[in-house]
Structure 1
Amino acid sequence: MKYAIVEISGKQFWIETGKYYDLNRIPVELGKKILLTRILLLNNNDELLVGKPYISNVTIKGKILKHLRSHKSIVYKMRPKKKTRKKQGHRQELTRVLIEDININ
């Protein structure tokens, strides 16, 4: 099984080929290709490569499928005994990326 652990927008993701992932909004048009280069770890059929901090000779190709918004999360702030309340909703902007290939140069 071939997989990689990649750093994208401050988070770490376990990436496999043929699957899609929802990442923070990437300002790229639909259908365009992106290249991920911040690979922390690569497992290529039980051959383990660990970066210090990144692996330089590995690239991951992905394709932008769509832009979407996550489910609404409620942010509620209240100060007790002061009669102040603030209820606010938040929906994170996301981009769905299909991982096409993991290349080792």
Structure 2
Amino acid sequence: MEKYAIIDVGGNQLRVEPGRFHDIRRNLKTLRSDTKISINRVLLIRDGSDITIGNPWLDHVVVTGRILHNCFEKKLVIQKIHSKKKTRRIHGYRETRIRFVIDSIFIASKETAIR
């Protein structure tokens, strides 16, 4: 019996399961580690052989989790080279991400998965 949900976070759709961690883009809010979060933008949920699809989201379904820490992606390097002018410009940045772990999936006040 496999239990998972597909959620919409930061413009990305993620397949989440209890006990697994995921990286998402950092929002404008500053969130600290061990902060509990709840996501109610659930697009699909599977509980064993039952599949429920939302239009666009499911009502009364909440995915809860907690933030582990902030992390960075690999550095993205952008180079602009003008061959006839013999000039180069190198610009780079790292995108900040948040790593969070899913604790449980709640369906209509019935807990379907814990750890």
Compute the TM-score of the two structures, normalised by the length of structure 1.
0.91
Q: How many Å separate the matches in 1 of 2:70 and 2:40?
A: 22
Q: How many Å separate the matches in 2 of 1:13 and 1:55?
A: 15
Greater displacement, 27-36 / 83-92: 83-92
The offset of 1:77, in angstroms, is 2.4
Name structure 2 gaps, 5 residues minimum: 109-115
What is the letter of the counterpart of residue 4 of structure 1? Answer: A
Query: Which SS does the other structure have where 1:94 is aligned?
Result: strand
Q: How many Å separate the matches in 2 of 1:16 and 1:77?
A: 42
Name structure 1 gaps, 5 residues minimum: none
The offset of 1:80, in angstroms, is 4.6
Q: How many Å separate the matches in 2 of 1:3 and 1:84?
A: 52
Q: How many Å separate the matches in 2 of 1:78 and 1:7?
A: 38
Match of 2:43 among 33, 40, 50: 40
Query: Which SS does the other structure have where 2:46 is aligned?
Result: strand
The offset of 1:46, in angstroms, is 1.6
Q: Which residue of 2 aligns with 1:16?
A: 17
The offset of 1:84, in angstroms, is 4.0
Greater displacement, 68-77 / 33-42: 68-77
Q: How many Å separate the matches in 1 of 2:99 and 2:50?
A: 29
Instruction: Give CA deviations for 1:33-72 in whole Å, capped at 9, x if unaligned.
Output: 0001111111111211111101111100010101111111
Q: How many Å separate the matches in 2 of 1:54 and 1:80?
A: 51
RMSD of aligned alpha carbons: 1.4
